[in-house]
Amino acid sequence: MVLIQVVCVVLILWGLMIVSVKAQDQKSGERPSVSSETIQSMSRIDIQNALKKIDSNNPPPPKMGAMCYEPGAVYKHKEYVCPLDGEKTMYATESKAFNTAISAPEIRSLVKELGSLVKGISFSLDEKKLCAKCFPNIVDADRKIALIVQYSDGRTVRTEGVTAQDIRYLIGFFQDGLSYKTNNDGQEPLKEVEPRLKVLLGEN
């Protein structure tokens, strides 16, 4: 009789052990380690914490970019085509907006890349000031591209006069968080451009 009771107790304990091991398995299954989902969705607190990491972590060592590359096309003037209405605006080399007009397609494609990196934040460009039809009466120096950052909490940050380099800072921030790629495939620490990064993110 005693033997039967002991066997019963052992069986019950064994059963309980199996149940608890199964429960633990389920728990760890619910918590994926670092998925792309958790990296991509960022709240304001996440942004602020990521900015703090730039100061506290050692950046990866800088890499020199390619020194020699094919000479690009030499323009006397640049025809800018407005993506909204197709209007063509001519920029001469002397124009203060000449370089912006040239880099507009690159900025667009970098913003597209940036948008695919982050969930919960939308990035868009306002190029209207580069178009003589959208903005006929502004001075040359005001013809700039603006970046608009819209957060899921409803905040909108607008920065006038963004460059391709600015968007590279943001891509670096949302990729490794410590460095960014230069236009010739080099790598530089974000620490050096942190004030600008904060302006772009609306955290200055």
Footprint of Zn ion (CB under 5 A): 82, 84-85, 87, 131, 133-134
Provide the minimum distance between the beta carbon of 146 and Zn ion in the complex, in angstroms, as a whole number.
14
* Residue given tokens 């990064």 in the structure block: 197
Question: DSSP for 133-175?
Answer: TTSTT--GGG---EEEEEETTS-EEEEES--HHHHHHHHHHHT
The number of residues in the chain equals 204
Residue whose CB is less far from Zn ion, 102 or 157: 102
> Quick one: DSSP state of residue 41?
B
Within 10 angstroms of residue 110's Cβ, the number of other Cβ atoms is: 22
Distance from the Cα of residue 14 to its chain's centroid: 52
Provide the minimum distance between the beta carbon of 30 and Zn ion in the complex, in angstroms, as a whole number.
50
Residue whose CB is less far from Zn ion, 36 or 124: 124
Residue whose CB is less far from Zn ion, 134 or 148: 134
Residue whose CB is less far from Zn ion, 39 or 132: 132
Report the number of secondary-structure helices (H) and strands (E) in the chain: 6, 7
Provide the minimum distance between the beta carbon of 83 and Zn ion in the complex, in angstroms, as a whole number.
8
Provide the minimum distance between the beta carbon of 101 and Zn ion in the complex, in angstroms, as a whole number.
13
Give the C-alpha separation, 169 to 172, whole Å. Answer: 5
Provide the minimum distance between the beta carbon of 160 and Zn ion in the complex, in angstroms, as a whole number.
17
Residue whose CB is less far from Zn ion, 130 or 147: 130
